[in-house]
Structure formats: C-alpha cells, structure tokens
Amino acid sequence: MENPLATTAELPSRTALSYYVKIAVSALGILALAGALAAVPFTPIGFSYIFILAFAVFAAPRMTLQLSGSNLTLSFSDAVVFFTFIVYGGELAVITAFVETFSNCVYLKKRRKESPKFFVIFNSSLAALIAAATYGVVELFSRAAYGSAFIELRLTDTRTLAAVLGVTALAHFFFSSAFAAFYQKLRTQGSFLEIWKTHCVSSALTHFTGAGIAGATFKVFNYGDVALGVISFIVIAVAYINYRTLINEINRSIANVEEAERQKADSERRRAEIEKARRKEAESYAEELCRSLEKEARANDALRKSERELQHAASHDSLTGLANRKRLNDILRDLISVYKQDPSATFQVLFLDIRSFKNINDTLGHSIGDKVLSVAAKRFSRVVNAEDTVARIGGDEFAIVLRGLATAGKAQKVARKIHRNITQPFSLGGNRVSIDVNIGIAPCDAEYDSPEEILRDADIAMHYAKERKDGPAVFTKELRHRFLERVRFEMDLRHAVERNELSMHYQPIVSLLDGRLLGFEALLRWHHPEFGNIPPNKFIPIAESSDLIQPITNWILLETTKQIAAWQKIGPDLADLEVSVNIAGRHLSSDDLSDQVENALENSGIRPETLKLEITESTAMENAERSISLLNRLKGLGVKLSIDDFGTGYSSLSYLHRLPFDTLKIDRSFVSGAGERGEDSGILQTIISLGTNLKMRLVAEGIETEAQLAMLRNLGCDYGQGYLFSKPRAAEDIEKLLYERHAWLPSSKDPAIELHSDSDSQPHIPLF
C-alpha cells in the first residue's frame, strides 16, 4: 500500500514556507499527542494493547513491502492505527499513530543515507494530527448517524463496523492526501487538484485496505477465543510469510528482468552510441570528402579557365582581341588542306596595311595609334561575315580570310567595301583622324602548302597596291616574279657602294642664249654585275623605300662636290660651275640632310652657291609648310635650290612663291610635247612666265631637237638640259670636254656631241 506520509516525508524542504509548515505541523501534532496522552483512560490498556503497540513499533515498519516496478507500498501501519481506534478509541489511536510513525521513520532513517530536516518528528506529528482529525470526523459521524458517541457504538454489528471503518478510512485518506497535495503545491507551485489527482488519489486503496485488515482482525478477536486468535494470527503470519516469499520472488524475477532489460538497454545504448559515433565519423568523412571534391572541382575549374585564357591569349592579339598570326596560320593550314581535297571549298586571303601608320604614331602618340588600330579592327570585323576571320599579324598589318568566295573579283568587291568603310574619318581624343589601307588579295590555289606561302603572296599584292595607289590589287605570278627581283635588287643595292658598282654621270646644263656652261646635273648610275646598267627610276624607288637613299645620297654629295671642286679649278672661266644633286623626298625630311650637305661643302671646299639641290615638285608640295622650313634651313647653308620636274605635280601658287627655290626645272614631258609646229607651247609659255615672275632661273629638261631649242629660246627660257647638248656622261668624258673647252650648243657643230650615244643605254628590267 502506498504510504502518503512517506511521500510527504520525501518531499525536500526547499522553501522557507514549507519549513514553517513543517514546524507548525510538528507543533500541532505534539499538541494532539499531548492532548491524547492527557485524555487517555488508562484502565482498558492491558496486555493486548501492549502487544499491538509492540507490533506497531517493531513489526509494522519491517512489514512494509515496496512493489518493484510500481510505487505501491504494502504496510500494516494504517491497519494497526485503525484497529487501535475501533478497539480502544481515538486517544490511543492518536498515540499509536505517533509511535508507529516514529518507529517507522527511525527505521527508514537508518536505512537511508540522508533524510530531510525534522524527518522523524514532522512525520510522527503529522500522523498524530491526521489520526486526531480522523477521530474527530468519526466522532461527528457517530453522533450524527447513530445519536451516540463513537465509544458507545456496538461495533460487533458488522454494518456499523463497516460504516465506521469506511468513514475512518475516508477521513484518514482525505486528510493525509489533502495535506500531501497542499505540501507538494507549496514546493512546486503546480495546481492543487492536479497534484492531488496525480499523486494522492491512488493512496485511497492503502487506507481502505488498512481499514479492511483492521475490521477483519477485529472480527477474529471478537468472535473467536484466544486459541482461535492465536491460530488466526499464525495463519495470517504464515500467509504473510508465504505472501512475502512470493513477493520477494516476484521482486527478484522482476529485478532480474529489469537487470536484463537494463543490460539490454545498456548494450543497445552502447551499440547506438557506437553506431552514432560511426555514423558521425562517416558523415564527417563524407563531408570532408565532399569538401575536398568541391575544392578539387574548384581547382579544376580555375585550371580549365586559366587554360582557356592562356589558349585565348596565345591565339589572340591583346590590343584588338582579333586572332593573332599563330591562330591565322592554324585556320589557313586547315583551309589549305580542305581545299586540296575539295576544290569547291574556296577562300581568299586579304593582306591589309594601314597607310602611313608611322606618321600617326609619331604625330599623335602611341596611345592614339593603339586606338586607331582598335577602330580599324572593329571596322574590318563589321564588314565581313561571321564565318570569316580577321587577324592582326603585325604592328599595322592585318589579314582577313574570306570563306566561300570563288573568284578574286568577289574578294576585290569586299576589299573595296572595306576600303570605303575604313576611310570614313572619325574623331579620337579631339583629333579628326582618317586612315587608309593598302589591300592585297591572294586567292586560294592548290599550289599552296603552307599558310606562310599564301600570306606572302597576299603581302606581295599589297605592296603592289601600295605603289600603284589604285585600290586593292590581286596577286599574280608576274607580281611574285617582280617582287622577288625587287628583293634581290634591294639586297644587292645594300652592297653596291662598297663594291664600287655605283658611279656618277653628269649632264651639262647650258645657257640657251650663248651656250655657256652653267654646270651639271649629277645622275646616279648602278652597274649591276649580273644585269648591267640599271636605270635610276628602277632602283631609286627601292633605295627610297628601304632607307638606303640616305647613305647613298651622302656618298653622292661627297663625290659630286669633290668632282665639281676639281673642275672649277680647270680655269677661271669654269670657277662658277654648279653641280645639281637630286634629293629624294624621304631624305629631305630627315634631320641628317643639312649636316651631310654642310659636311660635303666643308670637305670639298666649294662655295655653297655652286651646289644646287633638286627637289621634285610633288615632294615639295606634299607637305608644303614643312618643306618651307626644311628648305629654308638648307638655304641657310648658302646652297641653291631647284624645283625639279615642274608641271608634273600639283603646285599651289600661294606656296610656290613662299618656297625658297632659285631655279625651276620644266619637266621633259612639256618640252618633248612641244613639236616643230609649236604644239603645247602655250603651257610652256605659262610655266616660263610663272618662273620669270617668281624670279626663278628657268631650266628646260629633255631638249632633244633644235626646234625645241629654238622655241624655248623664243619663249624666253634661260637654260636647258638635254640630249641635244649631251647625254649624261661619265666624269672622265666630261673632264676631257672641259679641258677642250667644248661648245655645247649644236649650232657649233661640235663633233663631241653624240645625240644618240650608247654609253647610257640601259636594259629593261621590270620593277615596281
């Protein structure tokens, strides 16, 4: 049976309130005990009560059985108290309750390691108090139900006994459970009713069982004699011992089962823990694996990305983003091999070079130059189709591969479109920039085995277009032939000076009026060891484009001034002889020229005014403002200046009179056009008037006939140069004539004049 007192006693005293309650209960209980002791009638106490008390003190506490697996406690405490109550009345019941609980608590305290404060006195007092209250209720019930005091009732009547015991048990249960719930509520702050229902109601059974045992014992003692009582006691004891043995067995087996369950639970828990640890380990391993896989994936991605970037950088131009030469070569290699197998897979290669890009860089700076290249790249890409390739293959060199174009004519159309597009002016950093391109086209051909070959031919065509200045040019085998020759000449020309292959020829310039010798025009000659004499208009452009013209002209200046110095010394009549040296446009704009002229003057010792520099009209007018300053600088050295081939360029009159020329040389084409009947004399007349007005000396070139001489004389031209007087001659020939005081005018019938001398005959060598 569950013991409410034990439950109450186990509640730990945690608050001051419960502490005060404990003190109050103890005080009231001791009061109740004292009252009971004072009121107890000592007469009826005999041997039997002493036995009951002894049972309550020594046996009852040891007869308490706690059922394993439940909180039910079987106890004889209530039975002893109830039995005392119905046999001896309330006062002894109060004393018995106190004594029995006291011994019970002492017994429990011994068995426990620690117990709450006031454990023994509080529980004993509470038991006495509850017994007193119960006694009060039963007294009231007795008077109300039977009209007499409880002590006078005839309890031998079973119904009365049952009613009294029922009320006793009920009241006892009510007081003990109500106090237990109240005390619990004090400590846990829970709902009183809830605590009562959960923890206390179940104890009702204990009380009624106690009442039942008390009633049964009462009946046995009342209806049987002492022998029957003893027998009954022995039977109850045997039953109790059996019962206890059984209960012990049950408890043992329950304990065994519990132990087995506990062990099973332990091993399951351990297994679960091991399992959990393994799972955790596996999870962390999986996470680690995941992380390292992710890391690896990221590293792979970064590697792939940098590989891609590296590949892109290796195959593209960083400035324009276009394909570079390497990529272009790869593309062309593929196209060439496909074309060899399938002639319908045609393509055309364009080679593009930005005209005068060096000037843009020099005048506007390299960053503008870079932007110009970017603009050009965009414009090229805009014109072509998506499947075509635009590549930058050098500083200002681009290439375009046009796919699926069968003829060079179609490629020329695209090239012209590109040309139109690229020449549209645009503004860059506040500058209005316009660019132009030279375009060469090489159509696909089965003879090509490598990208270099087709690019080389497109480049050849581009160079041809550059010189011809007439739009895109298409490659032909003839062009390649010329190009290779040109390359050959360029190489040979580099060594021409040191190999003594260059020489000067001199052509006299004479007065048309009296035949007086004014001087000579120095004309360069190249005797090639294999091809013989090569005309200047073939090799001078090569010298100009390869920058060889400057050292060559320096050599000419030194050579001719030395020569004229020697000739000036032949006689006083020749002391003013002039020598005219042709200066190429490229050389004029270089800083070296004036130094070289000065050096030549110093070296030869000639008077500066006897050296004349010839600059063609087109060179002088190309950048007239710049020419004015360059020519003035030369003029400052004291030399004379001559404008050559006048009439073939586009002179601006306003510039013409600002340019510091002393002499105007009328181009041969106007003289040869002026025939016997005086054709073209109008233009000659105009040029002569212009020169006269500009206070320039006039020299007519290419006079071959006496009629031309006569006409020029009539038009008022001062001087002339031409085969009629002499072809350009080697220095030894001229020197001989000078010593002979040769008369240069034909009317003198001088036999030295050989109108059609073979000495200057030249082979025809096709060059650009």
Min dist CB 380 to Mg ion, Å, is 41
Question: Residue 720's binding partner, choosing from ligand C2E, Mg ion, none, with beta-carbon cut-off 5 to 8 A by kind?
Answer: none
Q: Residue 578 or residue 644: which is nearer to Mg ion going by CB?
A: 644
Q: Which of 99, 12, 87, 119 is nearest to 54 (CA)?
A: 99
Min dist CB 307 to ligand C2E, Å, is 56
Min dist CB 748 to Mg ion, Å, is 25
Q: Residue 134 or residue 627: which is nearer to Mg ion going by CB?
A: 627
211 is a site residue for ligand C2E (CB under 6 A): no
Of the candidate residues 175, 388, 721, 731, the single one contacting ligand C2E (CB under 6 A): 721
554 is a site residue for ligand C2E (CB under 6 A): no
Of the candidate residues 317, 645, 718, 733, the single one contacting Mg ion (CB under 5 A): 645
Residue 552, both tokens = 């060559």
Binding segment toward ligand C2E, per CB under 6 A, in 50-58, 88-96, 203-211, 519-527: 519-527
Q: Residue 472 or residue 720: which is nearer to ligand C2E going by CB?
A: 720
> What gap in Å lies between CA 675 and CA 169, rounded to an integer?
166
Q: Residue 353 or residue 645: which is nearer to ligand C2E going by CB?
A: 645
Say how many residues make up the chain.
Answer: 768
Angle of helix 90-111 relative to helix 77-88, nearest 10 degrees, comes to 160
Q: Residue 459 or residue 614: which is nearer to ligand C2E going by CB?
A: 614
Q: Residue 324 or residue 582: which is nearer to Mg ion going by CB?
A: 582
- Across 695-722, b (16+ Cβ under 10 Å) vs e yields ebbbbbbbbbbeebbebbeebebbbbbb
Could you tell me which residues are beta bridge partners of residue 349? 401, 442
| Strand, helix or coil for residue 576 | coil
Min dist CB 327 to Mg ion, Å, is 49
579 is a site residue for ligand C2E (CB under 6 A): no
459 is a site residue for Mg ion (CB under 5 A): no
377 is a site residue for ligand C2E (CB under 6 A): no
Q: Residue 441 or residue 753: which is nearer to ligand C2E going by CB?
A: 753
Min dist CB 722 to ligand C2E, Å, is 3
758 is a site residue for ligand C2E (CB under 6 A): no
Min dist CB 356 to ligand C2E, Å, is 21
642 is a site residue for ligand C2E (CB under 6 A): no
Question: Residue 540's binding partner, choosing from ligand C2E, Mg ion, none, with beta-carbon cut-off 5 to 8 A by kind?
Answer: ligand C2E
Residue 200, both tokens = 């206390």
Question: 3-state SS of the chain: helix, strand, coil percent to 5?
Answer: 60, 15, 25
> What gap in Å lies between CA 690 and CA 576, rounded to an integer?
26
Binding segment toward Mg ion, per CB under 5 A, in 327-335, 479-487, 611-619, 715-723: 611-619
> What gap in Å lies between CA 536 and CA 525, rounded to an integer?
7
Angle of helix 549-568 relative to helix 536-545, nearest 10 degrees, comes to 130
Of the candidate residues 474, 728, 734, 745, the single one contacting ligand C2E (CB under 6 A): 728
| Strand, helix or coil for residue 317 | coil
Q: Residue 457 or residue 645: which is nearer to ligand C2E going by CB?
A: 645
Residue 508, both tokens = 């006299």
> Contact at 8 Å (CB) between 711 and 684?
yes
Of the candidate residues 540, 542, 564, 606, the single one contacting ligand C2E (CB under 6 A): 540
- Across 634-645, b (16+ Cβ under 10 Å) vs e yields bbeeebbbbbbb
Min dist CB 516 to ligand C2E, Å, is 18
Of the candidate residues 524, 577, 600, 684, the single one contacting ligand C2E (CB under 6 A): 524
User: 435: which DSSP letter?
Assistant: -
Question: Residue 704's binding partner, choosing from ligand C2E, Mg ion, none, with beta-carbon cut-off 5 to 8 A by kind?
Answer: ligand C2E
With CB under 6 A as the rule, give the number of residues binding ligand C2E: 23
Binding segment toward ligand C2E, per CB under 6 A, in 128-136, 218-226, 487-495, 720-728: 720-728
Q: Which of 492, 481, 494, 556 is nearest to 528 (CA)?
A: 492
Q: Residue 35 or residue 515: which is nearer to ligand C2E going by CB?
A: 515
560 is a site residue for Mg ion (CB under 5 A): no
Min dist CB 313 to ligand C2E, Å, is 46
Residues 6+ apart with CB under 8 A from 398: 322, 351, 352, 353, 376, 377, 380, 390, 391, 392
Q: Which of 549, 528, 587, 574 is nearest to 742 (CA)?
A: 574
Q: Residue 29 or residue 702: which is nearer to ligand C2E going by CB?
A: 702
Binding segment toward Mg ion, per CB under 5 A, in 403-411, 512-520, 529-537, 578-586: 578-586
702 is a site residue for ligand C2E (CB under 6 A): yes
Min dist CB 559 to Mg ion, Å, is 16
Site residues for Mg ion, 281-340, by CB under 5 A, read none
Q: What is the 3-state secondary structure (H, E, C) of 651-684?
A: CCHHHHCCCCCCEEEECHHHHHHCCCCCCCHHHH
Of the candidate residues 578, 644, 718, 733, the single one contacting Mg ion (CB under 5 A): 644
> Contact at 8 Å (CB) between 580 and 642?
yes
Binding segment toward ligand C2E, per CB under 6 A, in 282-290, 326-334, 393-401, 718-726: 718-726
Q: Residue 170 or residue 615: which is nearer to Mg ion going by CB?
A: 615
> What gap in Å lies between CA 753 and CA 314, rounded to an integer?
69
Q: Residue 460 or residue 593: which is nearer to ligand C2E going by CB?
A: 593
Q: Residue 101 or residue 560: which is nearer to ligand C2E going by CB?
A: 560
Of the candidate residues 78, 317, 614, 718, the single one contacting Mg ion (CB under 5 A): 614
Q: Residue 169 or residue 556: which is nearer to ligand C2E going by CB?
A: 556
Residue 363, both tokens = 């005048």
Min dist CB 701 to ligand C2E, Å, is 6
Residue 511, both tokens = 């007065």
> What gap in Å lies between CA 398 and CA 354, rounded to an integer?
8
Quick one: 92 exposed, middle or buried, by C-beta within 10 A (0-12, 13-18, 19+)?
A: buried
Q: Which of 767, 715, 713, 768 is nearest to 745 (CA)?
A: 713
> What gap in Å lies between CA 29 and CA 123, rounded to an integer?
9
Residue 75, sorted as left (phi over 0), alpha (psi -120 to 50) or beta, turns out to be beta
Site residues for Mg ion, 695-714, by CB under 5 A, read 701
674 is a site residue for ligand C2E (CB under 6 A): no
Q: What one-letter code names the amino acid at 441? A: I
> What gap in Å lies between CA 228 and CA 221, rounded to an integer?
8
Min dist CB 409 to ligand C2E, Å, is 36
Question: Residue 135's binding partner, choosing from ligand C2E, Mg ion, none, with beta-carbon cut-off 5 to 8 A by kind?
Answer: none
Site residues for ligand C2E, 485-514, by CB under 6 A, read 507
| Strand, helix or coil for residue 224 | coil
551 is a site residue for ligand C2E (CB under 6 A): no
> What gap in Å lies between CA 553 and CA 596, rounded to an integer?
9
Torsion of CA 165, 166, 168, 172, to 10 degrees: 130
Question: Residue 459's binding partner, choosing from ligand C2E, Mg ion, none, with beta-carbon cut-off 5 to 8 A by kind?
Answer: none
- Helix (H) or strand (E) holding 438, with range, is strand 437-443
Q: Residue 4 or residue 728: which is nearer to ligand C2E going by CB?
A: 728
Binding segment toward ligand C2E, per CB under 6 A, in 174-182, 222-230, 446-454, 716-724: 716-724
Residues 6+ apart with CB under 8 A from 225: none
Interface ranges with ligand C2E (CB under 6 A): 507, 522-524, 535-537, 540, 556, 582, 584, 614, 644-645, 668, 701-704, 721-723, 728
Interface ranges with Mg ion (CB under 5 A): 582, 614, 644-645, 701
